[in-house]
């Protein structure tokens, strides 16, 4: 039987007491921290709500936006709101661009011509040495092919890039012909300010851009894709390049609005029967009401506005361009024959007449070069706004845009010293 002396027993009690005393400060500390956290939690529970309180209808009405009024006219009191739309993600392919042929194809050029072209003073000695190394040149299908390195493409000056890409853009074999983007030079920073692109990516886009009149051209999409590390960043970049500026347009009908004047303006072709009852009903609303202009348009533009066409393998769809869109504005169903350029020209000459006064709803707006060749058609809506499809490509949606923005869009693709002239044509029968 084990016995413990009284001295030993006292020593054990003293030792235990010391251990307890040593732990007491930590106990008080833990209690204090716990009370502090509980207090913070109670305070946040009373004063902070992670879910914002829904605004009342009155508060929502008072929220400022970028809506601005159009000029007064026979179209009524109208408001527009600038917005931008992006193509569906399934329409964007980064891998096909990254894996595409990036070589420079000089179609119908002899080695002597290419050598003279690449001997320009706007290239450095190192750049010339690489590009003029004929051991790396190829000849195929009547073209002489030069393979610049990625480093050389990044190092080109804006002057050299503009000159070289201007020639390459004439040959559909070259990737730069299909990836050319244009931005108003004074709006460049604004265009990318709301994107999620890293600042260094925006800086690279600007570095790879070159001037063309009052615009900046950018053709080196593959070079920027190479610099991005994640798929999400690459899709963000592609959406930023392909987004389109457009407008939401509304008509504000008041109890004192001249409904007959509005009906006269917005009733065209056979679609006026639905316009009058709608406008009359809105004029009876106390305080008036706003109506999206899409509800005043014929079926074809109503269904297509702000949408992207489905990609198609039908050869006829390649020709559903701006002219097809403009001449089918009031037609239901659309006439497929307007994919024929000769028929478009014949229809304008036979069924339309030139307008010398201000345009009105339904007029066809055409942009012409100084030599008279037509580069674009759209349909006038109101004030300075048109309904347009800017190319037959499925990456170009049906839009509302201002005439000035539309002219900018197409003047970017003509010689710098040229300006487009606006022509107006009105249908003889409505």
pLDDT tens figures, 243-274? 999 999 999 999 999 999 999 999 988 877 88
**pLDDT grade for 429, boundaries at 50, 70 and 90:** very high
228 and 261 assigned to the same domain: no
77 and 181 part of one domain: no
Q: Looking at the structure, do residues 250 and 187 belong to the same domain, yes or no? A: no
| Range from 15-19, 329-333, 396-400 carrying the lowest mean pLDDT | 15-19
Q: Let me know whether 151 and 252 are in one domain.
A: no
Asked if the structure places residue 56 within a domain, the reply is no
289 and 263, same structural domain?
A: yes
Q: In the prediction, which pLDDT does 46 show?
A: 54
pLDDT at residue 17 greater than cutoff 80? no
Dihedral of alpha carbons 295, 299, 301, 303, sign: positive
Band of pLDDT at residue 15, cut at 50, 70 and 90: very low
pLDDT for residue 16 is more than 80: no
Question: Could you report the per-residue pLDDT of 324-374, keeping only the tens digit for each?
Answer: 999 999 999 999 999 999 999 999 999 999 999 999 999 999 999 999 999
What DSSP letter does each residue of 252-305 carry, written as one string?
EE-TTS-HHHHHHHH--TT-HHHHHHHHHHHHTSTT-EEEEGGGGS-HHHHHHB
Q: How confident is the model at residue 47 (pLDDT cuts 50, 70, 90)?
A: low
Instruction: Supply the pLDDT for residue 26.
Output: 55
The answer to whether residues 293 and 246 touch, using CB atoms and an 8 Å cutoff, is: no
Q: Is pLDDT of 44 > 70?
A: no
* The domain boundary residue, chosen from 242, 264, 290: 242
As for how many domains the chain has, the answer is 3
User: What was the pLDDT predicted at 43?
Assistant: 55
For residues 268 and 429, the answer to whether their CB atoms sit within 8 Å is: no
CA 93 – CA 89 distance, rounded (Å): 8
pLDDT category at 379 given cuts 50, 70, 90 is very high
Is pLDDT above 50 for 8? Answer: no
Same domain for 72 and 117, yes or no, is no
Q: In sequence order, what are the residues at sequence separation of 6 or more whose Cβ sits closer than 8 angstroms to the Cβ of residue 418?
A: 369, 370, 411
pLDDT of residue 380: 98
Tens of pLDDT along 80-133? 999 999 999 999 999 999 999 999 999 999 999 999 999 988 999 999 999 999
Q: What pLDDT, on a 0 to 100 scale, did the predictor assign at position 271?
A: 79
63 belongs to a structural domain: no
Short-list 197, 241, 248, 199, CA closest to 86: 241
- Confidence at residue 184, expressed as pLDDT on a 0 to 100 scale: 86
Say yes or no: 261 and 406 in one domain.
Answer: yes
List the beta bridge partners of residue 69: 79
- Whether residue 142 contacts residue 108, with contact meaning beta carbons closer than 8 Å, is answered with yes
Confidence category of residue 11, pLDDT binned at 50, 70, 90: very low
Range of the domain at 22: 7-50
Q: Residue range 133-149: average pLDDT? A: 95
In the DSSP assignment, the letter for residue 1 is -
pLDDT more than 90, % of the chain: 72
Rg for the chain, CA atoms, rounded: 33
Averaged pLDDT for residues 63-73: 84
Percent of the chain with pLDDT over 70: 85
**Average model confidence (pLDDT) for the chain?**
88
Q: Could you tell me if residue 238 is inside a domain?
A: yes
Do 233 and 251 sit in the same domain of this protein? no
Q: Are residues 257 and 339 in the same domain?
A: yes
Q: Do 203 and 174 have their domain in common?
A: yes
Reported as a pLDDT band with limits 50, 70 and 90, residue 29 is low
**Rounded CA gap, 282 and 290, in Å?**
8
Q: Which is more confidently placed, 211 or 63?
A: 211
């Amino acid at each position: 039987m084990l016995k413990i002396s009284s001295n030993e027993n006292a020593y054990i009690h003293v030792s235990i007491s010391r251990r307890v005393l040593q732990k007491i400060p930590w106990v008080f500390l833990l209690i204090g921290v716990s009370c502090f956290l509980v207090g913070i939690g109670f305070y946040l529970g009373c004063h902070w709500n992670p879910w914002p309180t829904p605004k009342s209808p009155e508060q929502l009405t008072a929220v400022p936006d970028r809506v601005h009024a159009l000029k007064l006219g026979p179209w009524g009191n109208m408001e527009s709101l600038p917005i931008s739309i992006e193509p569906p993600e399934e329409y964007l392919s980064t891998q096909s661009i990254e894996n595409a042929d990036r070589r420079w194809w000089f179609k119908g050029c002899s080695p002597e011509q290419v050598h003279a072209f690449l001997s320009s003073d706007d290239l450095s000695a190192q750049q010339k040495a690489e590009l003029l190394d004929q051991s790396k040149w190829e000849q195929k299908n009547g073209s002489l092919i030069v393979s610049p390195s990625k480093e050389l493409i990044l190092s080109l000056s804006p002057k050299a890039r503009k000159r070289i890409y201007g020639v390459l853009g004439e040959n559909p074999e070259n990737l730069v012909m299909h990836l050319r983007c244009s931005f108003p030079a004074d709006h460049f920073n604004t265009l990318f300010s709301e994107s999620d692109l890293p600042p260094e990516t925006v800086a690279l886009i600007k570095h790879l851009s070159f001037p063309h009149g009052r615009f900046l051209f950018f053709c080196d999409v593959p070079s920027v894709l190479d610099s991005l590390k994640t798929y999400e960043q690459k899709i963000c970049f592609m959406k930023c390049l392909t987004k389109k500026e457009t407008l939401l347009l509304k008509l504000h009908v008041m109890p004192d609005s001249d409904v007959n004047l509005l009906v006269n303006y917005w009733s065209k072709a056979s679609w006026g029967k639905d316009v009058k009852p709608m406008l009359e009903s809105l004029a009876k609303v106390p305080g008036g009401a706003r109506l999206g202009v899409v509800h005043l348009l014929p079926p074809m533009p109503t269904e297509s506005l702000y949408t992207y066409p489905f990609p198609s393998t039908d050869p006829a769809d390649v020709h559903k361009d701006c002219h097809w869109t403009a001449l089918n504005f009031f037609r239901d169903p659309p006439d497929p024959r307007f994919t024929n350029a000769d028929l478009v020209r014949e229809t304008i000459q036979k069924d339309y007449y030139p307008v010398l006064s201000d345009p009105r709803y339904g007029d066809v707006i055409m942009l012409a070069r100084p030599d008279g060749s037509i580069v674009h058609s759209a349909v006038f809506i109101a004030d300075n706004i048109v309904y347009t499809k800017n190319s037959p490509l499925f990456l170009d949606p049906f839009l509302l845009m201002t005439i000035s923005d539309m002219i900018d869009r197409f003047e970017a693709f003509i010689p710098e010293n040229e300006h487009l002239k606006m022509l107006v044509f009105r249908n003889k029968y409505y």
